[in-house]
Chains A and B, each alone.
Chain A
Amino acid sequence: MIRLDNISKRYPSGLEALKRVSLELDAGEMTFLTGPSGAGKSTLLKLLMLVERPSSGALLINGKNINRLSRSAIPGYRRQIGVVFQNHQLLSDRTVFDNVALPLLICGYSPVETGRRVRAALDSVGLLQKEKNYPLTLSGGEQQRVGIARAVVHKPKILLADEPTGNLDPQLSSEIMALFRRFQHVGVTVLIATHDIDLINQLNHRIIRLDDGRLSEGDNHAQ
């Protein structure tokens, strides 16, 4: 599903964030991406979101090299992935419903279909009663769940999450993780960047460890 082939990323500042990283994620797999701050976790996610382009190497999604995508093809690619951000990235001037509906609006769903899907997504994160609330009236955990609902409302094949439990207590964190597992169970490929080692050790999933831009021994995929 996702394949990185000798990916390197060097920023204009000279910082080499990723050094010849190669890895492969299968469809329907849930994987944790971990490592200390500055190890290249965010850079890897940015490459997958096409926010940044790799300096060298090939990045294949579903067998297609996305490095070759033109600027105008980026929106279409991004619609196929769902992203959960650390700081939620919710629009504070719109209700929970409108926030979650945003990807569907962009994709061009009819209002009826949009309503149906938004409610289904909010239901799956347990926030159906809060659809008319504004994000700032919700707790941190609830905001993150709205972010997740928005990331999955258009049923993406790939779900990326950048520190989704960054500001949450352990109880809420494991609730969020349980949510991600539910999506994985319906066939979504999930990649979660986190440094919450305790949490991921509780869960029995593949772990990819990045250290100073290199894959370290941590990849227990082959074990």
Chain B
Amino acid sequence: MHSERGGKPTSVRGARDQKLKLSDRWHSYTSHHKTTFRDAFKKMIFEPAQTLMTVMVIAIALALPSALLLALQNVQQLGGGIEASSQLTVYVNKQAEAPQIKKLQQQISALPGVAAIDYISSDQALVEFEELSGFGQALQYLDDNPLPAAFVVKPDSLSVSAHAKDLVVALQSFDYVSEVQVDMLWLERLSAMTDIGKKLVLAIGLAFVAGVVLVIGNTIRLSIENRKEEIIVVKLIGATDAYVRRPFLYSGFLLGFFGGLNASVLLLVGSFWIGQSVTSLVALYSSGYSVIGLNVTGVLGLCMVGSMIGLCGAWLAVMQHLRAIQPR
């Protein structure tokens, strides 16, 4: 028809050449992931100041709630240590004679939930009081030993539970028992307070996580704006949404990951620094208490949480802004 004008087509190529083997596609898909990851990493290093600032903002925002959580765990551990050594003091009526005391001792030993029992006679109590209080001189002016004999009862259950309250009731019901003193009430209060603390940490943590998502979202939004031209070109050439999205998701992931890693470093340095003071304080109390720091699981967890938050933030930004960028 008009072939003499334009020249005859020699062959119709193109359609055949578009067909790619599945293995090739998979190979290039994975290799594109690798290159995108590498590029995202390079872009971060290319703008060190910008990257460092974003990473540190994320790190601090992750480290603060984590530090609170660690502090809470330490308080709980402290409480737990005391709970384990918590005891009941059963004061014996002054009228009780040796046989009655012996009988009482047998009765207490037979109670369920009693792990150990220790008898402190009024004489022993006086000696101890003299040594510890420094009022030894004053006591010598008294005609009589005012201190009652007592049993120190160690319950076997470590927790402050209804079981311990049953024990108190049982002990009070015995003859010649004048008073049962429980050192557990403040532990219940502590446990209630740590419950509040946990909720507080959760709330603060969620607020900070939301903050990190927004920070990363904003950073990714800026980099989308910066690469607008490029996005339009690759879309015109036939890039899918997933292809365009990928480098930004990797950037967010990396920002979050390094934020988590830096948060771990902050926490490790912080707990080491505070730990030294605590150790010297604990030495003064000659207690075996040691500070719970960040362990390997904690570091991995922080990195993982950071990465996930980064991915979410990037996804949010990408969903919002990428669709709006279309070739005109």
Q: Are A102 and B14 in contact (CB under 8 A)?
A: no
- Which stretch, A33-41, A109-117, A123-131, A163-171, touches the partner chain B? A109-117
The verdict on A76 contacting chain B, using a C-beta distance below 8 Å, is yes
Q: Are B236 and A83 in contact (CB under 8 A)?
A: yes
- CB-CB under 8 A from B236, the residues of chain A are 49, 51, 78, 83, 85, 89
Cβ < 8 Å to A, chain B residues 108-135:
none
Cβ < 8 Å to B, chain A residues 158-198:
181, 184-188
Chain B: interface residue total (CB-CB under 8 A): 39
Which interface residue of B25, B240, B241, B243 has the most chain A CB atoms within 10 A? Answer: B240
- CB-CB under 8 A from A93, the residues of chain B are 230
A1 to B145, CA, bound (A): 116
- CB-CB under 8 A from A78, the residues of chain B are 235-238
Nearest CB on A from B60, distance (A): 32
- CB-CB under 8 A from A108, the residues of chain B are 20, 24-25, 28-29, 32
A-B contact count (CB 8 A): 116
**Given A75-B238, A206-B2, CB of A185 within 8 Å of CB of B12:** no
Cβ < 8 Å to B, chain A residues 68-98:
72, 75-80, 83, 85, 89-91, 93
Q: Residue of B at shortest CB range from A152?
A: B14
A49 to B232, CA, bound (A): 13
**Given A78-B236, A185-B7, A206-B5, CB of A155 within 8 Å of CB of B20:** no
Q: Residue of A at shortest CB range from B32?
A: A105
Q: Are A27 and B25 in contact (CB under 8 A)?
A: no
Cβ < 8 Å to B, chain A residues 39-73:
49, 51, 72
| Of the residues A27, A85, A107, contact of B238 by C-beta under 8 Å | A107
Instruction: Provide the A1-34 mask, 1 if CB < 8 A to any CB of B, else 0.
Output: 0000000000000000000000000111110000
